[in-house]
Chain A
């Protein structure tokens, strides 16, 4: 509960940011859609952001407005909103979990309590996981009635599958951040390490020839757009045998990272 008390304000702020990022996106949709029909200023601006955004914009310019709108929402909800804000929240929350205990000289006190290290790790991680995951689903669910209000019906099923995949992606980043926090004596060191890692991956993402190695490739429009538009089944995300099965790999990565963090914490000596 101590960790929850510490992160609850940040959770609220994060949720508000996500919703605030989504609401204008929905409300300006008709005029934004009209602008997108004119291949002038808007397309040039988006074009400079690379091949990824080009494909996203192409999808949004689809003559079938349902497809265009779903593509637009996929971009808004998952790539722009949850990835960016979710990673920021994960870094802010995760880097302090252990490093701040060291900085504040409370780490020895905490480790000497009559609880197992495994329990300690779980008690620290789950509130943060809840904080980064819950707003993704809440934002997605808020988008459904809002979209209905302007005459577009978002498909709930694919939306929830995409939310699940996006949650797994953000959880992997969170767990990586927790590991960095455990390895660092100062929170700033963990923040720099993870922040640097994220920036490098973002840079890689915007270079088409090396995009494939970027972490962000695991959770981008190329996955969410077709699922939201109904051109790809969400089950493909969970089928590593016949399809890419990205969600399954993320679950595996999450499990391995958690197990490794647990092992490091269990073996940690003061």
Chain B
């Protein structure tokens, strides 16, 4: 079966900035794909290209078998897109805005809409200008998940939502997936995307990170330790000091399994230790290094 989304060598430059640098991606029908990457990695540009808001410079792009650059309206009729930085019309009531937003589509998912209305508990008869940022985001999510279409493109749908609402959003997305819908969502929350998505795709510097590169980066980071050491402690020969952190800890790369390294240190030398992927930005740095080194070679 043809993938619902197909990208081959898609690139896009804005003046001197390269937003997409040869993106390859396939999203089969019914998959929930999580796009993870730092700010400016190209996630939003890629999602915009999928609905024809941005025209690619090179490469091939197909959504529902159509080219979004030449058939944007046909693509959008079967796709619901939630922009990353969006707002809603302040002068309208929540209900009027929702009717306006859903009125563009042929079919509505009434069951899910009722569930969202109950779960989000929005005062839909009040004007949007009285809403908080989180309430506006809930309304935008309702407008994005409300249409009954085949593909949902969600750019950071959990923005400004609290933990309880993010949990509800996960349940809503799972319900969509159970109904056979295809979802591509971008997120900054690795753990939440990991818990929800069938597959995670890291995006760094406008490129999709190949699975092998990701695994290699994770394996390298699994040998990384952040240690709080007693003064005067000498590191074993198998440990490479990477840097001194501002909080007094040291970042160390271990050439042997981390547990063995900890055992090799004198008793009482370590007062605190963290092992593995400590921060998402460290993983991004590692991936950026691996991806740019790979493309250069």
Flag if A105 contacts B105 (CB, 8 Å): no
B100 contacts across to A, CB distance below 8 A:
2
Flag if B89 contacts A104 (CB, 8 Å): yes
A115 at the interface (CB under 8 A from B): yes
Flag if B48 contacts A106 (CB, 8 Å): no
Flag if B86 contacts A109 (CB, 8 Å): yes
Shortest Cβ gap from A135 to chain B (Å): 23
B90 contacts across to A, CB distance below 8 A:
104
B22 at the interface (CB under 8 A from A): no
Flag if B104 contacts A105 (CB, 8 Å): no
User: CA A115 – CA B48 in complex, angstroms?
Assistant: 15
Interface string of A73-117 (1 = CB under 8 A from B): 000000000000000000000000000000011101101111110
The winner among A6, A108, A114 for most chain B CB atoms within 10 A is A114
Flag if A109 contacts B104 (CB, 8 Å): no
Say which residue of A2, A114, A270 sits within 8 Å of B77 (CB atoms).
A114
Tell me whether A105 and B87 are in contact in the complex, defined as CB-CB below 8 angstroms, given that A114-B104, A116-B73 are known contacts. yes
Flag if A106 contacts B89 (CB, 8 Å): yes
Flag if A112 contacts B83 (CB, 8 Å): yes
User: CA A113 – CA B147 in complex, angstroms?
Assistant: 11
Flag if A112 contacts B51 (CB, 8 Å): yes
Interface string of B88-117 (1 = CB under 8 A from A): 111100000000110011000000000000
User: What bracket does the count of chain A residues touching chain B fall in?
Assistant: 10 to 19
B76 at the interface (CB under 8 A from A): yes
A112 contacts across to B, CB distance below 8 A:
51, 53, 76, 81, 83
Within 8 A of A (CB), among B26-71: 48, 51, 53-55
A269 at the interface (CB under 8 A from B): yes
Flag if B76 contacts A113 (CB, 8 Å): yes
A114 contacts across to B, CB distance below 8 A:
73, 76-77, 104-105
B85 at the interface (CB under 8 A from A): yes
Shortest Cβ gap from A22 to chain B (Å): 31
Tell me whether A269 and B73 are in contact in the complex, defined as CB-CB below 8 angstroms, given that A2-B100, A105-B86, A106-B87 are known contacts. no
User: CA A147 – CA B257 in complex, angstroms?
Assistant: 100
User: CA A6 – CA B73 in complex, angstroms?
Assistant: 25
Say which residue of A6, A105, A270 sits within 8 Å of B91 (CB atoms).
A6
B81 contacts across to A, CB distance below 8 A:
112
Flag if B83 contacts A109 (CB, 8 Å): yes
Within 8 A of B (CB), among A213-247: none
B83 contacts across to A, CB distance below 8 A:
108-109, 112
User: CA A58 – CA B86 in complex, angstroms?
Assistant: 58
Tell me whether A108 and B86 are in contact in the complex, defined as CB-CB below 8 angstroms, given that A6-B91, A114-B77, A116-B73 are known contacts. yes
User: CA A146 – CA B73 in complex, angstroms?
Assistant: 51
Within 8 A of B (CB), among A244-270: 269-270
Shortest Cβ gap from B244 to chain A (Å): 42
A105 contacts across to B, CB distance below 8 A:
85-87
Flag if A270 contacts B87 (CB, 8 Å): no
User: CA A109 – CA B141 in complex, angstroms?
Assistant: 12
Shortest Cβ gap from B159 to chain A (Å): 12
Flag if B76 contacts A270 (CB, 8 Å): no
B86 contacts across to A, CB distance below 8 A:
105-106, 108-109
User: CA A114 – CA B74 in complex, angstroms?
Assistant: 7
Shortest Cβ gap from A31 to chain B (Å): 45
B88 contacts across to A, CB distance below 8 A:
106, 109
Flag if A270 contacts B89 (CB, 8 Å): no
Interface string of A111-126 (1 = CB under 8 A from B): 1111110000000000
Q: Which residue of A lies closest to B72 (CB)?
A: A116
A6 contacts across to B, CB distance below 8 A:
91
Flag if B73 contacts A270 (CB, 8 Å): no
Shortest Cβ gap from B150 to chain A (Å): 13
User: CA A132 – CA B72 in complex, angstroms?
Assistant: 33
Flag if B105 contacts A104 (CB, 8 Å): no
Flag if A108 contacts B85 (CB, 8 Å): yes
B104 contacts across to A, CB distance below 8 A:
113-115
User: CA A57 – CA B55 in complex, angstroms?
Assistant: 59
Shortest Cβ gap from A209 to chain B (Å): 45
User: CA A176 – CA B51 in complex, angstroms?
Assistant: 29
B85 contacts across to A, CB distance below 8 A:
105, 108
User: CA A115 – CA B103 in complex, angstroms?
Assistant: 11
User: CA A116 – CA B88 in complex, angstroms?
Assistant: 20
Flag if B89 contacts A269 (CB, 8 Å): no
| New A-B pairs, 11, CB < 8 Å, besides A109-B83, A112-B81 | A2-B89, A104-B90, A106-B87, A106-B88, A106-B89, A112-B83, A114-B73, A116-B72, A269-B54, A269-B55, A270-B53
A sample of 27 inter-chain contacts (CB < 8 A) reads A2-B100, A6-B91, A104-B87, A105-B87, A106-B86, A106-B87, A108-B48, A108-B83, A108-B85, A109-B86, A109-B87, A109-B88, A109-B140, A111-B53, A112-B51, A112-B83, A113-B101, A113-B104, A114-B73, A114-B77, A114-B105, A115-B73, A115-B104, A116-B72, A269-B53, A269-B54, A270-B53
Pick the 8 closest A-B CB pairs, nearest first: A114-B76, A105-B87, A108-B83, A114-B77, A113-B104, A112-B81, A109-B86, A270-B53
